[in-house]
Amino acid sequence: MKIFKSMSEWIKFRKTLSGTVGFVPTMGALHDGHASLMKRCREECDVAVASVFVNPVQFNDPKDLEKYPRAPESDAKTLESNGADYVIFPEYNQIYPDGYRYRLTENELSKTLCGASRPGHFDGVLTVVMKLFNIVKPDRAYFGEKDYQQFLLIKGMAEAFFTGVEIVPCPTIRESDGLAMSSRNALLEPSLRPVAPEFHEALSSGLPAVEIKTVLTKKGFVIDYIEEHDGRIFGAVFLGKVRLIDNVKR
Distance CA 175, CA 181 (A): 6
Distance CA 196, CA 177 (A): 9
Distance CA 78, CA 191 (A): 28
- For 230, residues 6+ apart whose C-beta sits below 8 A from its C-beta are none
Q: How many CB atoms lie within 10 A of CB 206?
A: 10
Residue 67 near residue 56, CB atoms below 8 Å: no
Q: Which of 31, 34, 121, 200 is catalytic?
A: 34
Q: Is 229 a catalytic residue?
A: no
For CA atoms 36, 39, 41, 47, the dihedral sign is positive
> Rounded to whole angstroms, what are the CA distances from 108 to 69, 143, 156?
31, 21, 11
Which residues participate in catalysis according to the annotation?
A: 34
